Amino acid sequence: MIRLLFVVASVVVLSACTQPATRVAEAPAAAPNPLPGTKLSIDQLKAQMFHVSAGKRLKGAWPDAARVAVGLSFDVDNATATLSTGTLDYEILSRGEYGAVDGLPRILRMLDRQQVPASFFIPAASAVLHPQMIKEIQGSKLQHEIGVHGWIHERLPLLNDEKEEQRLLNLSLETLTRMAGKRPVGYRAPSWKFSGWTMGQVKAAGFLYDSSLMASDDAYELLLDGKPTGVVELPIERILDDFPYFGGNADGSNPSVADVYEVFQSEFDVAYEEGGLYLLTMHPHIIGHRSRVAMLERLVQYMKRKPGVWFATHEQIANHVKPLIAQN
């Protein structure tokens, strides 16, 4: 949002600078209504609210009478979000590059030690720039999953172009399918942001599941304009993401992995009590640092000490809950 405001502000400044002097005397254009929602009818409100929304909740028994399903996911953004904006700041770019150089290998070693599979959502350009990452992920015997995460981490509402969004989705799918040798079945929008076309394109591409939205703690079926899509949502949450704590506005200013551990563990404890779903979103260039992978490993060890914890890829979890859509 801050970046969007900056772009809007830049355009305003630029156009103000380039206007001829004679225009100065004209009355200023009315500012856009900052609260357009106040002018909508109930039907218009419903159309907006339920363009993409939560349908049937998909909560049933887990395999082997497990109490909770745990899905660890890693968004392998590295430097792509920065590259997508044309920002050639090599301090920032190298911070992303860390994900490929040290972050991902350290995470994969930890997962191997703990024998826990994970899902890796990779902007296809990130895979092209560091192709060894695909080999390293597939080098594990744990059969980790590779999912789609845009071409170059393009923010889709900012792209705001249906055809271009479709082109980039097709390119991402083709590229990852070729590199991984398997067509991905999972989709996660860059920055979790949908445009008005994303849900329709995700459904048309035949994805088994999306993992970008957060209307429930448990899996649910996504609705498009109020109609069932058959697409499973595996919900994410900002409090179950490394980025708000260590990246983003925090920008590394939160030194305490113990605080993050406490949030992650207590969320897991309640998911365990409720027989629910527990998903974490992390990034190799953020969580992949030494102290943070050590924290994550402590958390995995904590979860493994409890009986009945099913560690699975997002694909396995989505395949398990999808039949619930058809059940009464």
Q: Supply the minimum distance, in Å, between the C-beta of residue 83 and Zn ion.
A: 13
Q: Kindly identify the residues of this chain, within the stretch 272-311, that bind Zn ion according to CB under 5 A.
A: none
The token pair at 228 is 């069932």
Q: Supply the minimum distance, in Å, between the C-beta of residue 164 and Zn ion.
A: 19
Q: Supply the minimum distance, in Å, between the C-beta of residue 79 and Zn ion.
A: 12
Total number of residues that touch Zn ion (CB under 5 A): 2
Q: Which is nearer to Zn ion, 77 or 221 (CB)?
A: 77
Rg (CA), the chain: 21
Q: Which is nearer to Zn ion, 73 or 310 (CB)?
A: 73
CA 124 – CA 315 distance, rounded (Å): 19
Residue nearest to Zn ion (CB): 75
x/- track of binding to Zn ion for residues 77-116 (CB under 5 A): x---------------------------------------
Q: Supply the minimum distance, in Å, between the C-beta of residue 76 and Zn ion.
A: 8
Q: Which is nearer to Zn ion, 171 or 324 (CB)?
A: 171
Q: Which is nearer to Zn ion, 201 or 281 (CB)?
A: 281
210 touching Zn ion, by CB under 5 A:
no
Q: Which is nearer to Zn ion, 77 or 145 (CB)?
A: 77
Label each residue of the chain as H, E or C.
CHHHHHHHHHHHHHHHHHCCHHHHHCCCCCCCCCCHHHHCCHHHHHHHHCCEEEEEECCCCCHHHCCEEEEEEEECCCCHHHHHCCCCCHHHHHHHHHHHHHHHHHHHHHHHHHCCCCEEEECHHHHHHCCHHHHHHHHCCCCCEEEECCCCCCCHHHHCCHHHHHHHHHHHHHHHHHHHCCCCCEECCHHHCCCCCHHHHHHHCCCCEECCCCCCCCCEEEEECCEEEEEEECCCCHHHECHHHHCCCCCCCCCCHHHHHHHHHHHHHHHHHHCCEEEEEECHHHHCCHHHHHHHHHHHHHHHHCCCEEECCHHHHHHHHHHHHCCC
Q: Supply the minimum distance, in Å, between the C-beta of residue 80 and Zn ion.
A: 8
Q: Which is nearer to Zn ion, 77 or 233 (CB)?
A: 77
Q: Kindly identify the residues of this chain, within the stretch 62-81, that bind Zn ion according to CB under 5 A.
A: 75, 77
Q: Supply the minimum distance, in Å, between the C-beta of residue 153 and Zn ion.
A: 6
Q: Supply the minimum distance, in Å, between the C-beta of residue 81 and Zn ion.
A: 7
Q: Which is nearer to Zn ion, 221 or 241 (CB)?
A: 241
The contact set with Zn ion (CB under 5 A) reads: 75, 77
